[in-house]
Structure 1
Amino acid sequence: MESIFKFSKVFVSLNSFNIVRNKSANLRCICTSSIKNDLMEFFDDKKNWGQTEVKSGRSWRKEELRLKSNTDLHKLWYVLLKEKNMLLTMEQESNDQVRLFPSPERIDKVEESMENLEAVVRERNRAYHMLETGQSGERPGKLTTGPFGLKYYYKMVEHLIPKFMNKKWSEKHQFYKPDQDVSRFLLKYREKLYLNKRRQQRRDFNHVIGLMNRFPNMDMQALKEQYPNVDIDKAKKSRKYRGDYVPT
């Protein structure tokens, strides 16, 4: 009886081993190698060659990308990158053949989708680092003054060589030093900005008067919201404003 029991245990163990081996063999049978495509992956579908317009969908929005997992965003990034490479190749080929590139707005849609995807990933990274370390995790930086006296945001980078010994860094990043020539440049630059601002205010002022002359019954509150820098009461007192006169 004991021998029969031992034989049955050995038989069960052999059967289980065969089942596992068959399962692994079946799994190996369904495995496939990665698909290798030729250089035609860099070109659009042949049915779109010579077309004047190619229909395409809209770009990905941030609220849609926020619903996807990190793995899906990683896959989608490479799909968009591949699409962008294909579109840029087709655009260059069309220019070489002196032909019209159909639907060039597709490149703008892909670039907008990639920008939105990158913004969503940065949001997640920032939230994760704020939760774990209390910091944003972004590259630190500061607002500095360039060699011409203009402000810009400088992102800090780690270097192996100290600052006073790093000649390449010193040649590339020149900061503001008090100089008479720079002072004269800043004076003329600010004067130019001031004159441009005055011209823009004058154009908006005359445009508002023209709107009030053409549409005397328009909503003044909406006009103030659209042009907050224009004094509506002053525009009504101007000699260019014709009041209730409506041209025939």
Structure 2
Amino acid sequence: MSTAELHTLTGAYALHALPDDERVAFERHLGVCGACAQEVRELSATAARLGLAVSAVPPPALRDRVLREITTVRQEAPSHARGSRPTASPGRTGRWSTYALAACVAAAAAFGGVAVWQNQVAQDARQEAARAQLHNERVAQVLTASDARTSASDLAGGARGTVVVSKSVNRAVFLASDMAPPPGGKVYQLWFNDEGTMRSAGLMNPSASDDTVLLDGPVDSASGMGITVEPTGGSEEPTSDPVALMDFQDA
């Protein structure tokens, strides 16, 4: 993908609408393009405000009003029956009206539950968008830092790993390309290398061959990072030989 094309992806990235390969390519581009990083921050903030603006909760009295009007508003006959008298036997009309009324009452009763469910879905979506926005901002902060240092290495199976470290932000970002999926029930775990002592730095997405991970915790005095294969959920300390070891580039 050309640099000119990458410049056009800021909006899609802010809305989390990029496929994994384009997302990873664009996040690498963020490390060298301050203009795109600034535009992503502004678009992400705007998207969050718009999401909050469209949320609406039905008024509490709406359900009661619907139930009241069921008893006073006559149901209109089907279009094919207008102008003709019903031929149903006595008592049948009243029975079907009862069924219709019961269905309307059930629908009205369910309406309150649907409204609550819709509001919960909207709230969950806003929270997820806020978490994603915060993650993107923190990743961009590392990638665009003036003291960001990048180290890259070929990994097993033709994969490629790149780590970007900013001492001023005190965080690191790991970008992986073409990672083979871990064995069933396993996950790739990242580690900070603190002079030979490995400190957990988070888990990779086991279903993504291309991934961008903001390493958990501060860099502090770590001189590099490692990757191991661990049981789902991760381990307190490495339990396998490292898949990769990468040194951080000195400032």
TM-score normalised by L of structure 1: 0.22
TM-score normalised by L of structure 2: 0.22
Which structure would you say has the larger RCO, counting Cα contacts within 8 Å and 6 or more residues apart?
2
Structure number with the higher strand fraction is 2
The higher radius of gyration belongs to 1
Structure number with the higher helix fraction is 1
